[in-house]
Amino acid sequence: MDMSLPPTIPDTVITSLSAHIEKCYSEAKQSKEQITQRLLSCHRQRKGEYEPRLRAMIAQSGGQEIFMMLTDIKCRAADAWIKDVMQNHNEATWALNPTTEPELPPEIGAEIEGVVMQEAAAVAASGMPIEPETMSMRQNEVLQEATVKVREEATLRCKRMEDRIIDKLEEGRWRDALGEVIYDFTTYPAAFIKGPVLRKKRRMKWGPNFTPVVAEEVVIDVDRISPYDIFPGPSAVSIQDSYLLHRQRLTRSALRNMKGLKGSRPEIISEAINQFREGYRTILPGDNEYELLNNNNLTHNADGLFETLEYWGPAAGFMLIEWGMTEVDGNPVDPDDEYQINAWKVANHVIRVVINPDPLGRRPYSKACFEEIPGSFWGTALPEMMKDVQIMCNASARALANNMGLASGPQVEVNVDRLPPGASITSMFPWKVWQTTNDRSGSGQPAIRFFQPDMNAAELLNVYQHFTRVADEVTGVPNYVYGSTNVSGAGRTASGLSMLMENAAKGIKHAIMALDRANSEVVHRIYTHLMMHDPDQAIKGDMQVVAAGAIGAMIREQQEVARREFMAATLNPVDTQIIGVEGRAYMLRETAKGIFPDIDKVVPNPQRMRELMMQQQLAAQQAAPQQETPMA
């Protein structure tokens, strides 16, 4: 059912910009039709429902509609495995590092020159000759000292910026959004995350005498975007290619709140709200089945929500001028030029237009695929990788159920010509008396014969088990990862199972790297936003975001093993004297990180260690004279 724009919309509302966005949306919808069917197929397979055509065929043949939830088992195992790496509460999956060669601020360069000149003046005043080579060497020495300090300051700024970003992420819904994205990542051909998204939210703080104070604050959110609602351009390979449309549904209040945003047209927003009193939505192919798969009530009503298209892509200057935008960065809009814009559209109403605010023109979306396909926007989903295996497992399970039902009791062959009129042949019970007539044919065959169909359960079970093992290979998520005891060979020993787990982890970590990149892109965009808009100068500096999910997990595992081995190897009197108490305490602290919530209660911090050592030395010095007194 197509619930597109009603014919009552006046033609004057349709601007060239609105027509341009609608044209792009129509092209994107058409190119995504096959992708939508893939999304629905993955959704059905994980949920354990047959394709409509296959379900009809099974019902027609009278077979059992058994669906073995092997895909869901693999997806849930991959979910848990990835979350162990990506949602570690003790460590972030990303890190900020200062650039290799931090730039010296101009004022520091001038300060270095001033220090050298003062020293040269002091030498000249003493009557000593000043060699140019000496001044150059001294200038290099001061420069090196300043560089060390700049690097130390850059590291400190990185730490402050990391803390600020973590605080912003915790205020938003980053952890919840990441969990939802991981579900999409293991279910669909692509998963999408959007950030930063600036929103006003009501916050409660405690005022004087612990009285609650509610105020609105702008927070940085990170959103999971459904793959059903993303519409890339037909030629797009990445998020940044061609154009991108995001379909979303806004409440009436959210739409009203857009009136105060930069680039919005309050009169057009009011016009859209007044025109669609009950809200506005369209129904696309696949929406009905999507709602059914999510166990939602099917309704074509708008429910008071407004379907909004968010457009990211190019637009001609004359379209912007016609809409009402006259300047870009203080310069008049060139009607012949092309601009990268972000526009919001409800039906034919373009309610907001801004130039892409990112300095590099990036769109605030990131994409990750479980298995990427070079040159394609959409990748291969985990359910698609094991679709044939799921079909074979379902077929063997249906055959097994049908065979068990067929072979659960005897089959009966009845010569109906020898039964008296009105005799029931569909009812069987113990001690039943079968009444028959004489055999007129003279063949000597009984009127009723019983025979037992063959039971093929063992063969069918072998087929099923074979394909479950194939599922381990094609997905890279073996059954021993999620606690299965059906492990043979090396997996029967603790060391062998550990080796198998490590080998299996290589495949899943390769997939996690795609999520790492998407996550790092979001963090980098938040870093850019804070650099541009946060008033705190102490957090700012030239930094780079480093992904630390899968790679970090491997490095941490290797470091933990190396630390334990090193501590065991150096636990002897000679090495203890070399390392010292402070060195041993440092090793203990690094090894115990992540194990204890408050490490200072287990191993004293360096300052406390120095205080304890000074107390021990002082006690030893005070005890020494007391030991010498009796000898005198």
- Condensed to tens digits (0 to 9), the pLDDT of residues 214-232 reads 887 778 899 999 999 999 9
- What is the per-residue burial (b if ≥16 Cβ within 10 Å, else e) of 325-336? beebeeeebeee
- Condensed to tens digits (0 to 9), the pLDDT of residues 47-100 reads 999 988 888 888 887 777 889 999 999 999 888 888 877 766 556 677 788 876
Which residue blocks in 2-69 are alpha helix, DSSP H? 16-31, 33-47, 52-61
> Which range marks the domain in which residue 217 is found?
11-57+185-381
pTM: 0.77
How high is the pLDDT of residue 120?
62
CA-to-CA distance for 184 and 227, rounded, in angstroms? 8
Which contacts (CB < 8 Å, 24+ apart) does range 208-212 have? Answer: none
* Residue 206 within any structural domain of the chain: yes
* Residue 43 within any structural domain of the chain: yes
CA-to-CA distance for 440 and 389, rounded, in angstroms? 55
* Residue 175 within any structural domain of the chain: no
Two tokens at 15? 């601007």
* Residue 40 within any structural domain of the chain: yes
- Residues paired with residue 192 on neighbouring β-strands, in sequence order: 225, 367
- Across the chain, what does the average pLDDT equal? 81
* Residue 242 within any structural domain of the chain: yes
* Residue 331 within any structural domain of the chain: yes
- Taking a C-beta distance cutoff of 8 angstroms, is the pair 310, 336 a contact? no
- Condensed to tens digits (0 to 9), the pLDDT of residues 164-215 reads 998 888 888 888 899 999 999 999 999 999 989 988 777 788 888 888 888 8
Two tokens at 545? 């975001």
- Condensed to tens digits (0 to 9), the pLDDT of residues 326-362 reads 889 889 999 999 999 999 999 999 999 999 999 888 9
**Is 491 a residue whose pLDDT tops 70?**
no
* Residue 27 within any structural domain of the chain: yes
How high is the pLDDT of residue 503?
53
Q: Pairing mode, if any, of strands 331-332 and 327-328?
A: antiparallel
Maximum distance among all Cα pairs of the chain, rounded to whole angstroms: 146
Structurally, how many domains does the chain consist of? 1
**Is 285 a residue whose pLDDT tops 50?**
yes
**Is 236 a residue whose pLDDT tops 60?**
yes
Q: Of residues 533 and 599, which shows the higher confidence score?
A: 533
Q: Which of 63-67, 304-308, 480-484 has the highest mean pLDDT?
A: 304-308
Give residue 444's region: left, alpha or beta (phi > 0; psi -120 to 50).
Answer: left
* Residue 275 within any structural domain of the chain: yes
**Is 420 a residue whose pLDDT tops 80?**
yes
